[in-house]
Structure 1
Amino acid sequence: MDQGGAPPVFSASAELDGDHLRVVVTGEVDMATADTMLSTALREPADRVTLDLRAVTFFDSAAIHALVRLAQRFPAGLTVLPSRQVTRVLEISGLAEQNWLRRD
């Protein structure tokens, strides 16, 4: 049944600046898109990764798994900028106190 709205749009783009990779993710990160988010963040060689999730509208367990894998890959070089929805999911999952999470 048509709900009259456009389907949520997912995108993940990356920009490398020296050894710092900035990945901007928008839309829904779920089992269909989490691997794309992860592969985008791992595509370029970098020492530091900023994962900008401020425009993410949905974040599920597959997205959490991808995020944990990034945190393992970049133990001292990951920064995550969450949306309100991502923050809530990380709070529920017990990951809200991780040192890579920034709530500015």
Structure 2
Amino acid sequence: MDQDGAESNFSATGTVTGDRVVVTVTGEVDMSTADAMFRAATVHNATAATLDLRAVTFFDSAAIHALIQLAERYGARLEVHPSFQVRRVLEISGLSSQPWLRD
């Protein structure tokens, strides 16, 4: 599944294996694309999710909100692999110690 947002450099592509959806996100995640990232991660009644954000170049408060919603939905079954930019935003917002954040 590919969710293209308003930004041409954004994509969120999800693949479901068993009960886990793995979403690879590229480009800018902002108020115009955060919902597409959320939708890509909440397909097919998945009960676990992995977000690969290593190719994300911009991450704003709308993206943080979508990420928190995913954390509430999946709990301990969420894994997030951030880019340097995403990790920095999460550090600034006080979310860098969340158990779902991976190296």
Would the TM-score normalized by the shorter structure come out above 0.5? yes
**Residues 20-55 of structure 1: per-residue CA shift (max 9 Å, x gap):** 110000000000000000011112211210000000
TM-score after normalising by structure 1: 0.90
Q: Which residue of 2 aligns with 1:99?
A: 99
Could you list the runs of 4 or more consecutive aligned residues of structure 1 that deviate by over 3 angstroms after TM superposition?
Answer: none
Q: Kindly report the root-mean-square deviation, in angstroms, between the aligned alpha carbons of the 2 structures.
A: 1.0
**Residues 1-26 of structure 1: per-residue CA shift (max 9 Å, x gap):** xxxxxx76000000000111100000
Say if 1:85 and 1:8 are closer, same or farther in 2 by CA, change over 3 A. farther
Q: Which residue of 1 aligns with 2:78?
A: 78
Q: Which residue of 1 aligns with 2:36?
A: 36
Segments of structure 2 that go 5 or more residues without pairing to the other structure are 1-6
Structure 1 contact 38–67 (Cα < 8 Å) conserved? yes
Q: 1:57-72 alignment to 2 at 5 Å?
A: 57-72=57-72
> Which residue identity lines up with residue 62 of structure 2 in the other structure?
A
Any idea what SS the aligned residue of 1:74 has?
helix
> Which residue identity lines up with residue 54 of structure 1 in the other structure?
R
Structure 1 contact 23–52 (Cα < 8 Å) conserved? yes
TM-score after normalising by structure 2: 0.91
**Residues 55-97 of structure 1: per-residue CA shift (max 9 Å, x gap):** 0000000000000000000011100000000000000000000
Any idea what SS the aligned residue of 2:76 has?
coil
Structure 1 contact 49–78 (Cα < 8 Å) conserved? yes
